[in-house]
Amino acid sequence: MKSIAIIGSGPAGCYLADQLLRLVPDASIDVLEKLPVPFGLIRYGVAPDHQSTKAVTRVFDRVLSRDHVSFFGNVEVGRDVRLDELMTLYDAVVLATGAARDRRVSIPGEDLLGVVGSGSFVGWYNGHPHSQAPVVSGVRSAVIVGNGNVAIDVARILAKGPEELAGSDVDGRVAAWLMALPLQTVHIVGRRAAAEAKFTDHELAELGTLQRAWPGVSDPASLAGDTAVVKTLRGFAESTPRDTPVSINFHFNLTPMAFVGDGKLREAQFRSAAGETVSLPAQLAVTCIGYEALPCCSAAPANGVFANEGGKVDERLYVVGWAKRGPSGTIPTNRVEAQQLAQRISQETHSGERAGGAGLRKVLEERNVRWVDYEGWQRINAAELVRAGAGRCREKFCSPAEMLDAALGQQLRTA
């Protein structure tokens, strides 16, 4: 058998495992994940009210359940095992570690209380163990920087009322935090023209269906062009506003200049195309401007991605997903890319009689690492579903310790 390790169990890693099962049937595939639970961006990036998008985890779950695939949750490369050790243990190793760090806008005031990156904010409302609630209160006005789908997600989650979050897996504490905000305005600010916005029309149009909020455009004259997105924005601008507690205000051609405040954010400043300063009062600013890959032991990204040639970083070391191409594309983009990489790995990988998963288990046992296998994940999953309160499809465990207890069946027994 050939042995292949995939580092990361998000969409890129899971689609790759799926494709390797098809194209390299004589391989044993180990999927390592630093958290005790799988699915990365699907669990912690896709918005909690978009459960139909999260449903792809059923496909990924089946992949992890297959013979020849083993899940190693709670195993962090760099903490529990080194990349060079994996290279010794496996015939091929793939970095599917995503892009976990928020890009910075690099303007004054970015470290004020109330200014957060979308990775951190989205992770928090999705119950990521390492994310925390923004340290803000009394948010009447929020500014969202960026014109991509993450900006739309963040605006929608801020603007929705409690009944609109029914059926989601948003944590009760997060929902309570959101509902306690005296929110009146959400500004979505792009540095380019509306026709160059990166929103997809479907996600944008959803903002026109919200109960608690109504979208508008600050300067309808900025809506030049006839893209689907511009037409939808024009529809927002031309329709009679409903009387809703929250208004969502689109701004275009405004480049971020500074976040201003005395310890806490007070306003966000932008420069218009005419060179004027435009100030938007805000107690919360979420920068939704993309992400970059973090180093994985000795493998260091440059410009936010791991340098590669067609997915190959080095002999027997590969990269896939956002860690390879940067934070772009939809979930199915990963399937296409995984197929191409699996093809390449199938041609280039030869069995080197390496120790593979047996060797990894030995290393982890020697180091007293408590890893979560597929059955452990199944117990966590079952416990999260059982404990979901009324109006929620799941209540996630938000700390690794709770997850590890659930993996042993302890939460199920005490639930």
CA dihedral 325, 328, 331, 334 (to 10 degrees): -20
- Cβ closer to ligand NAP: 42 or 95? 42
How is residue 228 written in tokens? 């689907």
CA dihedral 162, 169, 293, 324 (to 10 degrees): -120
For the purposes of burial, counting CB atoms within 10 Å of the CB of 358, is it exposed (0-12), middle (13-18) or buried (19 or more)?
exposed
CB of 54 to ligand NAP, least distance (A): 11
State the amino acid at position 137 in one-letter form.
S
Give contact residues for ligand NAP (rule: CB under 6 A). Answer: 105, 145-151, 153, 190-192, 198, 200, 203, 256, 288-290, 327-330
- Cβ closer to ligand NAP: 27 or 233? 233
CB of 292 to ligand NAP, least distance (A): 11
Instruction: Compute the distance between CA of residue 115 and CA of residue 102 in angstroms, rounded to an integer.
Output: 12
- Cβ closer to ligand NAP: 53 or 381? 53
When CB distances to ligand NAP are compared, the closest residue is 148
Q: What Rg value do the Cα atoms of the chain yield, rounded?
A: 22
- Cβ closer to ligand NAP: 223 or 372? 223
- Cβ closer to ligand NAP: 298 or 330? 330
Instruction: Compute the distance between CA of residue 91 and CA of residue 23 in angstroms, rounded to an integer.
Output: 15
CB of 72 to ligand NAP, least distance (A): 27
CB of 392 to ligand NAP, least distance (A): 21
User: CA triplet 205, 202, 157: central angle to 5 degrees?
Assistant: 65
CA-closest candidate to residue 29, choices 57, 79, 66, 77: 66
- Cβ closer to ligand NAP: 10 or 146? 146
CB of 145 to ligand NAP, least distance (A): 5
CB of 207 to ligand NAP, least distance (A): 12
State the amino acid at position 157 in one-letter form.
I
